[in-house]
């Protein structure tokens, strides 16, 4: 989510994307908290809102980065790429270790194991093996994508727009379409395809997803709000909604592989949303000190910090104590507000401030 430009539709996408991710995780975390009591109708509603609001956001963040950093007029050499990547490494070695430390402490309390230096060591190992909190997959993948910006720019310049678009299409099919269809085929055959691979396999998959979306964003530089992309995005949204709601109500699971980050439908939906924003807002800029401006500036911090507030609040409060919708609304407001406040406070902390 590199803020190298003040392009209006990109700032809107950052702001809406950050808010959408929070809403998505509010619903998913709440549903997990009350899984033994939640009705299938309520669960289907949670999934539907989460898909509409948040499933496009992270693929879109990669696309925005590609749009900005594959600009031929922008200089992005190895030194600058390493600087971008090291910022993500810094995030993992600070916030990532902190999150993992919290998780290891919680595991010790659940199992009754004593706390000691080994807890901190396990937290560091978790980060080094990409086994930290789930939402950090984006940070891991982005660090690698940043390092690959110079060679990708070189390939783009050598191939030209048309051939680079063909290469990006091939990447999209190979990295997103084929795995999604394979998982669907396995599901229809009765196999369990919900579990995500851990460790190196998941890391490589996530990097490939990031590279693909990054290249898609680069292609957006000359598509300019393509109507076809918007239509495909809408169709993809309907596929995700229809399959998730139908399978949830039928008690067949929610078909996560249809809407998670590795899904061709989620990434096509992200492209559709960005293309719509690009088409509607055009070259307009965002007014300084507006709500969108502030949210866009805080978007990375909101994304990074919001799970902390979600987990802490759900540890203390039972969602069933309040009527549906009211609890989720209050939780959402608290998480967004807390993430913004903490982001701005941490910006004044040496070392941490530069990471946010």
Quick: pLDDT tens for 154-175: 999 999 999 999 999 999 999 9
Residues 6+ apart with CB under 8 A from 186: 193
Ramachandran angles phi, psi of 126, nearest 5°:
-55, -45
253 or 289, greater pLDDT: 289
Q: Is the per-residue pLDDT at 2 higher than 50? A: no
Mean pLDDT of the 284-300 span: 94
Mean pLDDT of the 272-282 span: 94
Tokens of 195: 């579990």
pLDDT in tens, 254-264: 788 899 989 99
Ramachandran angles phi, psi of 7, nearest 5°:
-70, 125
Residue 253 φ/ψ region, left for φ over 0, alpha for ψ in the -120 to 50 degree band, beta for the rest: left
Q: How confident is the model at residue 253 (pLDDT cuts 50, 70, 90)?
A: confident
In angstroms, the CA 51 to CA 328 distance is 16
Alpha helix (H) ranges present in the chain?
8-33, 40-54, 57-69, 78-91, 97-111, 117-128, 137-147, 149-172, 178-188, 200-223, 227-249, 256-259, 264-281, 291-316, 326-346
In angstroms, the CA 276 to CA 236 distance is 14
In angstroms, the CA 25 to CA 58 distance is 13
Residue-level pLDDT at 223: 80
Residue-level pLDDT at 111: 76
> Which of these, 210, 258, 264, 230, lies nearest to 64 by C-alpha position?
210
| CA distances for 207 relative to 82, 216, 263, 315, angstroms | 16, 14, 14, 32
In angstroms, the CA 104 to CA 126 distance is 9
In angstroms, the CA 302 to CA 309 distance is 10
In angstroms, the CA 167 to CA 295 distance is 34
Residue-level pLDDT at 194: 54
Average of per-residue pLDDT values in the chain = 92
In angstroms, the CA 219 to CA 50 distance is 27
Ramachandran angles phi, psi of 199, nearest 5°:
70, -145
CB 31, CB 43: distance < 8 Å: yes
Q: How confident is the model at residue 150 (pLDDT cuts 50, 70, 90)?
A: very high
The number of beta carbons lying within 10 Å of the beta carbon of residue 189 is 8
pLDDT in tens, 188-243: 886 656 545 566 788 999 999 999 999 999 999 988 778 999 999 999 999 999 99
> Which of these, 61, 55, 63, 60, lies nearest to 241 by C-alpha position?
55
Q: How confident is the model at residue 113 (pLDDT cuts 50, 70, 90)?
A: confident
Residues in the chain: 356
**Any idea which of 64-78, 124-138, 193-207, 329-343 has the lowest mean pLDDT?**
193-207
Residue-level pLDDT at 117: 81
Residue-level pLDDT at 3: 43
Q: How confident is the model at residue 187 (pLDDT cuts 50, 70, 90)?
A: confident
In angstroms, the CA 274 to CA 223 distance is 11
């Amino acid at each position: 989510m590199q803020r190298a430009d003040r392009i209006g539709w990109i700032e809107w996408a950052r702001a809406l994307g950050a808010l959408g991710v929070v809403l998505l995780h509010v619903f998913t975390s709440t549903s997990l908290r009350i899984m033994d009591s939640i009705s299938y109708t309520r669960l289907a509603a949670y999934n539907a809102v989460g898909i509409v609001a948040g499933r496009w956001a992270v693929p879109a963040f990669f696309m925005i980065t590609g749009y900005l950093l594959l600009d031929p007029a922008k200089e992005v050499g190895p030194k600058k790429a390493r600087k971008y990547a090291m910022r993500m490494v810094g995030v993992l070695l600070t916030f990532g270790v902190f999150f993992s430390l919290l998780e290891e402490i919680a595991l010790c309390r659940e199992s009754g194991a004593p706390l000691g230096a080994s807890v901190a060591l396990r937290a560091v190992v978790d980060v080094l093996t990409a086994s930290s909190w789930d939402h950090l997959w984006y940070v891991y993948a982005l660090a690698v994508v940043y390092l690959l910006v110079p060679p990708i720019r070189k390939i783009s310049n050598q191939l030209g727009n048309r051939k680079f678009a063909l290469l990006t299409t091939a990447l999209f099919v190979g990295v997103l379409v084929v795995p999604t269809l394979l998982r669907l085929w396995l599901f229809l055959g009765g196999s369990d395809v919900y579990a995500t691979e851990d460790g190196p396999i998941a890391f490589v998959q996530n990097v490939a997803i990031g590279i693909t979306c990054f290249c898609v964003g680069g292609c957006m530089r000359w598509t300019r709000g393509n109507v076809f992309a918007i239509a495909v995005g809408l169709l993809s949204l309907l596929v995700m909604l229809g399959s998730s709601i139908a399978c949830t109500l039928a008690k067949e699971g929610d078909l996560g592989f249809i809407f998670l980050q590795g899904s061709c439908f989620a990434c096509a939906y992200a492209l559709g949303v960005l293309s719509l924003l690009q088409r509607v807002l055009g070259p307009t800029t965002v007014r300084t000190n507006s709500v969108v401006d502030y949210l866009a500036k805080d978007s990375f911090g909101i994304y990074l910090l919001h799970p902390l507030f979600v987990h802490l609040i759900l540890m203390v409060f039972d969602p069933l104590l309040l009527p549906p919708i009211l609890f989720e609304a209050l939780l959402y407001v608290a998480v967004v507000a807390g993430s913004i406040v903490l982001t701005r406070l941490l910006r004044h902390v040496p070392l941490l401030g530069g990471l946010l």
